[in-house]
Amino acid sequence: MSAVCRKAKLEDVEPLYQMIQGYAEKGIMLPRSKKVLEKQIGEFVVAESEGHVIGCGSLCQLGSDLVEIRSLGISEGYKGQGIGSMLVDTLLEEAKRRELPKVMALTYEVSFFIKNGFAVVEKEIFPEKVWTDCIHCKKQHACDEIAVLKVLN
């Protein structure tokens, strides 16, 4: 099985929506409407294999020097094959291209991010994230996600 990462296109909205919705129903990812996905499609990358979207991730700029990896997911049956790391590498390259030195994520998969060069940090150091997304989250006062950060050279 070979997969490639590429910028998402409008025709990817439906598979993106389905993948993200599956994670959201499990309470491990914030849901995104199709309308929001259409609006933010330029921020997404997808992993594709044999013409099918099998993974996704996006960047959200939170400040002048900070970007967040969000909506990172892999389809069932494709996990553990390095596709997540391919997506993260693609997103990190995009952050470098934009000259954004800090990349953060909130995650339940801490070991995955550590393996990809991130370090665990206190989420309180990201007020940009709190005021952008956390104020809308139902877990706002009992957040159990772990913050990770990678500083790019």
Instruction: Return the domain boundaries, the chain.
Output: 4-151
Rounded CA-CA distance 16/34 in Å is 9
The third-level CATH classification (topology) of the domain covering 4-151 is: Aminopeptidase (3.40.630)
Q: What is the per-residue pLDDT across 44-94, written as a single tens digit (0 to 9) for each?
A: 999 999 999 999 999 999 889 999 999 999 999 999 999 999 999 999 999
pTM over 0.85: yes
**Is pLDDT above 50 for 133?**
yes
**Residue linked to tokens 């025709």:** 11
Which of the four pLDDT bands, split at 50, 70 and 90, describes residue 138?
A: low
Short-list 84, 57, 59, CA closest to 71: 57
Residue type, 57: G
Q: How many Å from the N-terminal Cα to the C-terminal Cα in the chain?
A: 32
